[in-house]
Structure 1
């Protein structure tokens, strides 16, 4: 890695660490922005790198949200009694219990969706084109309805996540804690995918996107790589859901956990805005989209969804290749793909 890139990444990391102190009034909004970056990065694994447009990645996000909260509660209290009695009104987590519960819950919030993705991957990823898209959309919608009928997790009325323990810094420390948790998750997801795209895994995903039949004819086990990509996405999506559920404090099946019409759509729009099939496109798209969205809620309250609809039209009409696509076309020497020796060797192995 060149010195310029090291400086660039270091500068971004320092700004991310310092953001809560530079913009203390916007800690929650920036925390949500990091979650949106994770959602965009993970959707691009299928939608951009692999060419499989998914409308149901929110499925893993919602599972992670419910699993994290359920583990946090179930480690110390009866889950059914918690959801029946309003949770925090009856049971109180001690500080040690709270932190043990949230870290354990986040681990399971990543593992359980990843296992679900592995189990259903062969059947779902065997579909292509619009059939795959419709199937994934059905997963997200069905999951919300199913969760709304399970009394153990609050059914349609939802469930509360464990509240921040009293006497531990108050709301200020709480917001700072979740900010850094979201930031760390975003950094880990970004660095992992950056590494993965430089390996055989990334080359195979692109081969599937370009021509899956030819890739299979070359002897590549495409299904294995498609499932692996979905598992990776599900892992990070589940952890993002676990963090978001705790930040919001209340988990409802159709509007918060399995929010197909909001976050399920947002992750696609963010990638389209930034540029599909690129590493930085989802990051840039998520940041720009979040800034616009928050601005709409401030200046166009009551018309915010109309403004979002206009933004969608603008994205489709004026940014068909996304921001990164436009930059690559105008400045190919600065933003074009650079093929290094490692990539060439990996491509030779692929062949």
Structure 2
């Protein structure tokens, strides 16, 4: 039964699958208006998972500091919107662009400092980035310090705010997906995978491995920074530790979603984000009071039983089926 379902899914052309998903995503908020906010945060999870996988899956560098770019994006967009004096939508547009660009600057700065380190040393080095950033933000009065920062009020009518930010986040997730889809199919993408497979051999072949890693991290930081700016507006309030630089939630979730779906694949992070977000929302709805315990159990299950992820499991089933049919 499972093999038949997998065969049917593989028989669908990728272009048809993409068009179908895009159409469903455009129609979904009108069909289920009560779930628009949850669906918008689903797109945020997709961006987080995809951008983490750029370094963690495609390059094999497990970063625990990507939440830094998300938090930088939150505050960068908020400050531009607050201080620019522009009308709301113009300030939002400039704020999101600035959020992405500032996140890129941070990626280059920390990339030069950290991406020469390998393995567990790199993971440990990035672990403190989000923590340190949260503490610094909590002590900086210009961005609200520990009291947080309130976002400008949306000027539209009741209900239109959620729909507007759904489509903005949907646009960010879609642009991120197609950018990474193109990137992974270029020579640059092949170079990324060569570094993941054997960095010493890649260097011996003449690849400038550190530069490649920095550029890849900057691309993911760009979209994660923009997503942070959108998320800050959706939430309406930015707390330095619980929202912007929340390593215990967003910082961990982006890693788990990529692992659940399958690291180093295009669709794995997307699938992992969808399954993880749906499961998390069900926990929050039906296990109120125990939702964090249930989420902790889910995290343990993902790590223990899905080390290769769903896409890895599908690939193993495909190989097994092909072997039996031979």
Q: TM-score, normalised by structure 2?
A: 0.93
Provide the rounded CA distance (Å) in 2 between the counterparts of 1:317 and 1:253: 32
Question: CA 1:294 to 1:141, structure 2 compared with 1: closer, same or farther past 3 Å?
Answer: same
Report Cα offsets for 1:61-102 as digits up to 9, x if no partner. Answer: 0000000000011101xxxxxxxxxxxxxxxxxxx7100110
Question: Which secondary structure state, in structure 2, belongs to the residue aligned with residue 261 of structure 1?
Answer: helix
Aligned to 2:133: 143
Question: Which secondary structure state, in structure 1, belongs to the residue aligned with residue 248 of structure 2?
Answer: coil
- How far does residue 299 in structure 1 lie from its aligned partner after superposition? 1.1
Question: Which secondary structure state, in structure 2, belongs to the residue aligned with residue 69 of structure 1?
Answer: helix
Provide the rounded CA distance (Å) in 2 between the counterparts of 1:207 and 1:190: 21
Provide the rounded CA distance (Å) in 2 between the counterparts of 1:195 and 1:38: 16
For 2:60, which of 43, 51, 56 is the aligned residue?
51
Aligned to 1:330: 317
Aligned to 1:201: 188
- How far does residue 332 in structure 1 lie from its aligned partner after superposition? 4.4
Structure 2: runs of 5+ lacking an equivalent: 1-10
- How far does residue 169 in structure 1 lie from its aligned partner after superposition? 2.3
- How far does residue 119 in structure 1 lie from its aligned partner after superposition? 2.0
Aligned to 2:101: 111
Provide the rounded CA distance (Å) in 1 between the counterparts of 2:146 and 2:212: 37
Structure 1: runs of 5+ lacking an equivalent: 77-95, 336-351
Name which of structure 1's ranges 116-125 and 245-254 shifts more when overlaid on structure 2. Answer: 116-125
Aligned to 1:99: 89
- How far does residue 3 in structure 1 lie from its aligned partner after superposition? 8.2
Is structure 2 residue 253 aligned with structure 1 residue 266? yes
Aligned length: 312
- How far does residue 162 in structure 1 lie from its aligned partner after superposition? 0.6
For 2:212, which of 201, 221, 225 is the aligned residue?
225
Provide the rounded CA distance (Å) in 2 between the counterparts of 1:42 and 1:334: 32
- How far does residue 320 in structure 1 lie from its aligned partner after superposition? 1.3
Question: Which secondary structure state, in structure 1, belongs to the residue aligned with residue 80 of structure 2?
Answer: helix
Is structure 2 residue 303 aligned with structure 1 residue 313? no
For 1:154, which of 144, 157, 164 is the aligned residue?
144
Q: TM-score, normalised by structure 1?
A: 0.87
Aligned to 2:289: 302
